[in-house]
Chains A and B, each alone.
Chain A
């Protein structure tokens, strides 16, 4: 059994991990293997791309994703989750009786969010939308209900439509329990030496990803700031000079990451591991 260690997971950290993790690559940048979603920003587009299905031998026409959400940057996605998705009266979901993971669906935006504290990307969950997200979520909820029935337990159901604070309350309780009992959530039960906690939560400077290949491979995930479209659509108090163009900002991040990588020695690498990327490097001793 892994030793219990103190952790300091917060709602903000949790959301930031998801919004800057694989979900941003896959569903905002469109790095999705599914043919109709390749290159599609699922939170900005309103429908999938037409594509030719070789197995069916025909073209598959575009399918509806939902209304335009204007999300382009990680901070747009963070704001959407925190200020729209989690607070919306159209968001509902359930808590798994097996691992207490929280699954949510917003019927107005056709967006699903799963908090999964042990996923292999170490980014604590996912958020997505596909044409069949509503049906998929209903099927998963039905399966969770059958799980609960099989164990003779009630399925905890959350619905902001019934209680406007229901979703936030459920997530706050989950976060509190993770902090109180990290061994139940953040460690691989089959691996007593698991370091899930360290790989994820100690990586404060780069939330949501394993830091080793982070700066170059995931430059867009590190971009800070809101896009013009999202800021305007959500009436955010952002000065026009602070609007972020994700393509340009990604290129800047990529160059910074590449420069950092090329400058690293083994010693610098260890210092970054220990102190993070933003700390000042230890000065070299002066030669006598």
Chain B
């Protein structure tokens, strides 16, 4: 049985607001937009040679630039569906790292961003969900809450 870390960030930090045609509107605070940008930078530059065999780095850079332009604007983050799809492989590629396996990236941030992006992806692309397990086990980790 998997027990979540007591330091896990239990509440979703980036959530879906709405889908408008080809755009996905998200709720995200400036702090978590910044964390998402930092994660994308990490994925683009990590010395793990596998990542850019799986995630298209050019697409990651383009998505990161779109997020960077909105980092201070409000609690809303607008991405196209293709931009959302471009960042998902980076999370898939790095999810091989186990809970305590990151040595050069904040694991709690990764777990939270990972689960939020897959929750959003599964809602937006309902027809073809990722069937990808979440890293934060909320039922168990809630025992650490309070």
Residues on A lying within 8 angstroms of B by beta carbon are: 22, 26, 33-36, 53-58, 60, 96, 98-99, 114, 116, 118-121, 123, 125-126, 128, 130, 132, 135-136, 138-140, 142-143, 145-147, 149-151, 189-190
| In-complex Cβ contact of A53 among B54, B100, B131 (8 A) | B100
Assess the B96–A142 pair: CB atoms within 8 A. no
A34/B101 contact (C-beta < 8 A), A126-B53, A140-B92, A143-B88 known? yes
Residues on B lying within 8 angstroms of A by beta carbon are: 2-3, 5, 7, 22, 48-50, 52-54, 56-59, 61, 81-82, 85, 88-89, 92, 95-101, 103, 107, 125, 127-133
Assess the A143–B96 pair: CB atoms within 8 A. no
Assess the A121–B5 pair: CB atoms within 8 A. no
Assess the A136–B125 pair: CB atoms within 8 A. no
B60 CB to closest chain A CB, in angstroms? 12
With the chains together, A60 CA to B98 CA distance in Å? 9
B144 CB to closest chain A CB, in angstroms? 12
With the chains together, A14 CA to B74 CA distance in Å? 47
Assess the A139–B131 pair: CB atoms within 8 A. yes
| In-complex Cβ contact of A142 among B53, B95, B129 (8 A) | B129
Residues in A neighbouring B95, C-beta threshold 8 A = 132, 136
A55/B99 contact (C-beta < 8 A), A142-B129, A143-B85 known? yes
A58/B3 contact (C-beta < 8 A), A35-B98, A143-B88, A150-B85 known? yes
With the chains together, A60 CA to B100 CA distance in Å? 11
Residues in A neighbouring B82, C-beta threshold 8 A = 147, 150-151
A128/B50 contact (C-beta < 8 A), A33-B103, A98-B59 known? yes
B107 CB to closest chain A CB, in angstroms? 6
Complex: chain A residue closest to B44, CB-CB: A120
With the chains together, A258 CA to B77 CA distance in Å? 53
Assess the B100–A143 pair: CB atoms within 8 A. no
Complex: chain B residue closest to A124, CB-CB: B53
19 A-B residue pairs with CB within 8 Å: A34-B96, A53-B98, A56-B5, A98-B59, A99-B56, A114-B54, A126-B49, A135-B131, A142-B128, A143-B85, A143-B88, A146-B81, A146-B85, A146-B125, A147-B82, A147-B85, A149-B127, A150-B22, A190-B58
B108 CB to closest chain A CB, in angstroms? 8
Assess the B89–A143 pair: CB atoms within 8 A. yes
Complex: chain A residue closest to B88, CB-CB: A143
Assess the A130–B92 pair: CB atoms within 8 A. no
With the chains together, A114 CA to B49 CA distance in Å? 12
Assess the A143–B101 pair: CB atoms within 8 A. no
Contacts A22-B49, A53-B101, A136-B96 known; 7 new A-B pairs at CB < 8 A: A56-B99, A98-B59, A132-B96, A139-B130, A139-B131, A146-B128, A150-B22
With the chains together, A241 CA to B130 CA distance in Å? 50
Residue of B88, B97, B101 with most chain A CB atoms under a 10 A cut-off: B101
| In-complex Cβ contact of A56 among B3, B61, B97, B131 (8 A) | B3
| In-complex Cβ contact of B128 among A114, A128, A132, A145 (8 A) | A145
Assess the B96–A121 pair: CB atoms within 8 A. no
A34/B98 contact (C-beta < 8 A), A26-B49, A147-B82, A150-B82 known? yes
Residues in A neighbouring B81, C-beta threshold 8 A = 146, 150
Assess the A143–B92 pair: CB atoms within 8 A. yes
Assess the B131–A142 pair: CB atoms within 8 A. yes
Assess the B97–A53 pair: CB atoms within 8 A. no
With the chains together, A118 CA to B49 CA distance in Å? 11
Assess the A53–B52 pair: CB atoms within 8 A. no
| In-complex Cβ contact of B48 among A33, A60, A136 (8 A) | A33
A205 CB to closest chain B CB, in angstroms? 21
Residues in A neighbouring B92, C-beta threshold 8 A = 136, 139-140, 143
